[in-house]
Structure 1
Amino acid sequence: MRRSLRPSRAPAAVEDFEEIAPERESEREIELAHALLHPSRYPREHEERPENADDDRVPAGVPRRRTTKTAQIVLASVLAVLSLTGTVAVASRVTREIERAPVVQAPAPALPPAAATATAPEPAPIAESPPPALDPPLLDPSLDDAPMPVVDRAAARKERNEAQAALEMRDLPRARDAAARAVHLDPEHADGWLLLGAAYLDLREEWAARRAFAACAKHAKRGPRGECAALIRPPNAAVLSRAH
């Protein structure tokens, strides 16, 4: 005959267990969690008890829970959540730092030195050549005896006036050139030769002045040609003979 293991009525202590057991289970799970984290601080009495260990407040016939295994599961879950939360927080922080970091643009590659552009050399300014200066005919020995034709008396008169004004202004080169043009235009007038000789004297070119006065005495037919002859006689001839 089988014996029924089911009690005819619930033990009186079961009602108390329903109110007390959850609290004790919760406290024990916390203690076990701390024991797993810090085993050196807790005695070995907190280690896992066998399933058949007695509990004063749990009546016989009520199945016991494996509190140690439950604590381990809870602790593993807590650690997993903390680890995952920490990883996510660290990742979020790194992402924020990357977003906040200033964007450093890479320096632009250095451009190769530009090849020197070949530019055509600027043309040299064309110097306006002055009108060819007329060499005084007396500087050419072949003119001493050669006849000298009159070219333009009116133009010669203007050149003589310019030479006279330049001598008064002490512009000796201009006076010399104007007088030389005058004798080329009208060699028969003595004033052109006298002005040319005077310009040479002021330029300290006595030998050229002497030749101008000699040419005046030979070729002049108008004007003060007697003065030209007087200048080539002594003692004036001695001064004009400083030579060359």
Structure 2
Amino acid sequence: METLFPFLEITGPEKQQFRVELNKDRITIGRFDLFNDVALEPDPQQLISRKAHCLLERDMEGWWVVHNGGVNPTFVRKGTDVMMVEGRTSLKEGDCILLLGKFAEEGELCYWELTFRDPFGTRPAGLGRGVAYLEYDWIEGRLFRIEDEKRLEIRDLRPQEHKLVRYMEQRNRTNQHAAVLCTFEELIAAIWGDEPGHTEAEITHLIWELRQKLETNPREPRFLETVRGLGYRLVTKRLRMTAEE
């Protein structure tokens, strides 16, 4: 029976083939099955990030591929044009995601090819929610929520919350302001450094407290998103780094 969901047709460097149905709004793609919805194995040369090398996301405008800041780039082939994903790139029927999977002995580069198929996709009606994102002012250490051009300052952030926001915003800025998955391990290091004994539970509690301050509905977070089992992402758009901006 033909699926009604969009899917990926995947071909590996060794010509292995399989198909993955996109049956949820966020799909992580990486090296290990344990950490990702789509595992690109085997990867003996370790060219793909072990956790979420890239992600597929669906919003009111359609599907997107998001590079998650891995060492090796994510590419998209649209027809005969190939482009590097900087931040995120929209996906249409027949677009192909390319991830480096192998350096052959003769010097040839071999890629994983993930072709996006959405034969029953719905055209966007342009009736989605307005623009909403967070903005952090590094000069004054202030966090703002922007919704439909309304600007609201999020007050009373604790020092640990400032550290978390600053780290996650910095990760986004290096990824063309597209939200980057930040793992539990790196968030623990960003907040407490080399101090031993801190756990994922502490990060989860800190995230919960921060959501009470910045989300209009903490049970349905729009700005501080969970990537189940891996970590969190902060939705920001731009960074003010100088007093003139």
Please, what TM-score do these two structures have when normalized by structure 1? Answer: 0.18
Task: Using structure 2 for the length normalisation, give the TM-score.
Answer: 0.18
Q: Name the structure with the higher helix share.
A: 1
